[in-house]
Chains A and B, each alone.
Chain A
């Protein structure tokens, strides 16, 4: 259950959790979580329902303060008292509901709450250019008119806009909660591409997903939660679908700790935990 040995020199993870615990009354939601999230990589957080995935990301996002343990950001311990604290240092969370205003256009949504002013009035030109540039950097090409209302976009495009909104605030870590749930095949491909592009720009991405097929497509690292404990974490190459499912459902490795040699393809279909 030990996290992998981080590369010793210079390359310290962007975010480290050490012994993070969280209780709700008598319920122990998280127990002694250790997790490293390196920059420029996609970390996938998986686990069965009730394993504590949501509690963990809400703790990182500053919604809940941990009862014990440390959150270390770029080598320094930090304490988030509110979600704003987390946003301010560069942690952006994209929740499942995306939080987009359908009646506003793409530019207006991306800059909501961070409008650019010129002589006290909205500077639409600068805002549109900024939004355009961000989308270009993320290589979002399916949206051609960024002045169309978000309500007219497809699910994948909406997800892309929600992520772009997060990236726009200079996020160093983007947390995505079930980004591909309820999306069709090509829309899912669009979102996975965005995730890969984010990581290639040096942004750390933490993805929660039930879909192990998607996870194995994009993740560099895998972290499996089981009943509030970190069952295992490490480079994705150490796992395959079958062993990941085994970790998710039992909290132990398929045949001894960490071994992922077995490949039981039959379990792959049950990935929806």
Chain B
């Protein structure tokens, strides 16, 4: 009996939540569909944004120095390397893989770049060589994982051990450059990523241009879909999304342009923000709008289906690991810029776990097939805010680690519960 009724219910249910989107013309209709989606595990970015706002309000209330211009800009520069390392991880997490070595890939890349700089090479050559080295290492890990069909967890765990050794070796080989295990960074451009900022007016112009561009992409995307008679969100939602992006850009520009200097006037947006946004834009485009990106999602969802569709699964997997290595290399440069040096004491193991945590907190699945580059930004900010806020409260590293652990656990539990809702449906 149940068997007879069930299919119709399924059809009715899917009609109710899916086609309503076609028919939904009011925000109210859409909100109902949205709440259904959240419960069925397709929540998008909303939960993490709400969580981030909640955490920010918590620290705002608790610590007077949290919501100050200086600290907020500090937060942006502090979070930058967690965010980019999270983006590196998302390439492989989408496949259902993981790269535990990425933290040390970043560190080794930074050593290569700083070594070359110390020897007098120009900054761009140093960066290019470091990035190529990191991408090549990623390609090696990808090839071993894909061709031999080994679990990436083990391959990259070996990579983590090996690269932490390589880090010590490389720094030792630099001789007098890396005295005491620290290679200092004395390059205006690389130091400037984290250490200098755009001027006030330029900050406004750049952020307004970014806001307009992003809003235009959303507007014309939805507009074209609607005018072609395809599935598209209602106008009000398109408008809301555009407003949110414009607001975010303007808030960042406004905060960055408040004077945060004590003795002299310091204002303007750190270059790091721009670098992160550029990486975000390019990688988002790559994952969302190209064949490669589509295949990454397909393999993460069902590798066998992808194989039968004629996709070269091994090749895509190798490329994803290569891009993970490349992005880890970028992280290394940003990290060195943030520290003003690179040393043998870099905790690449903890950095990579923070990065994976950032991606997962942002909404990316550890089991593959689900995630976006934006998740690393949102999750990275959550991790960054927790570290920053707890430090301001005077809590020790032990408390910081345990609180981050709780947030990560909460994110995974929310993810699992909503997914269970999806199955039950």
Chain B residue contacts of A100, Cβ below 8 A: 302, 305
Is the CB of A151 closer than 8 A to any CB of chain B? Answer: yes
A137-163 contacts to B (CB < 8 Å):
142-149, 151-157
The number of chain B residues touching the other chain, given as a range, is 35 or more
State whether A113 touches B310 (Cβ < 8 A).
yes
Interface residues on chain A, size class = 35 or more
Asked if A121 meets B290 with Cβ closer than 8 Å, knowing A142-B11, A144-B22, A186-B4, the reply is: yes
Within 8 A of A (CB), among B1-18: 3-4, 6-8, 10-11, 14-15, 18
Q: Are B231 and A128 in contact (CB under 8 A)?
A: yes
**B8 near A152: Cβ-Cβ < 8 Å:** no
Interface: A84 (CB within 8 A) = yes
The interface residues of chain A lying within 8 Å CB-to-CB of B4 are: 184-186
Instruction: Tell me which of A101, A102, A129, A153 contacts B306 (CB under 8 A).
Output: A101
Binds A, one of B159-167, B234-242, B292-300, B330-338: B292-300
B8 proximity list for chain A (CB < 8 A):
186
Interface members, chain A 53-102 (any B CB < 8 Å):
84, 97, 99-102
Instruction: State whether A101 touches B302 (Cβ < 8 A).
Output: yes
Tell which of A113, A121, A125 touches B309, judged by Cβ atoms closer than 8 Å. Answer: A113
CB–CB B231/A147 < 8 A: yes
What are 22 residue pairs bridging A and B, where the CB atoms are less than 8 Å apart in the complex? Answer: A97-B304, A101-B305, A101-B369, A104-B298, A104-B301, A108-B298, A109-B305, A112-B294, A112-B306, A113-B306, A113-B310, A121-B289, A122-B291, A125-B228, A128-B228, A145-B18, A145-B21, A154-B7, A155-B7, A157-B14, A186-B8, A190-B7
Which residues of B are in contact with A by a Cβ distance under 8 Å?
3-4, 6-8, 10-11, 14-15, 18-19, 21-22, 40, 42, 224-225, 228, 230-231, 285, 289-291, 294, 297-298, 300-302, 304-306, 308-311, 369-370, 422, 425
Q: Chain A interface (Cβ within 8 Å of chain B)? A: 84, 97, 99-104, 108-109, 112-115, 117, 120-122, 124-125, 128-129, 132, 142-149, 151-157, 184-187, 190
Given contacts A125-B230, A142-B11, 20 further A-B contacts (CB under 8 A): A99-B304, A100-B302, A101-B298, A101-B301, A101-B306, A101-B369, A102-B301, A102-B302, A103-B369, A104-B297, A108-B298, A114-B309, A121-B285, A122-B289, A124-B225, A145-B21, A147-B21, A152-B18, A186-B8, A190-B7
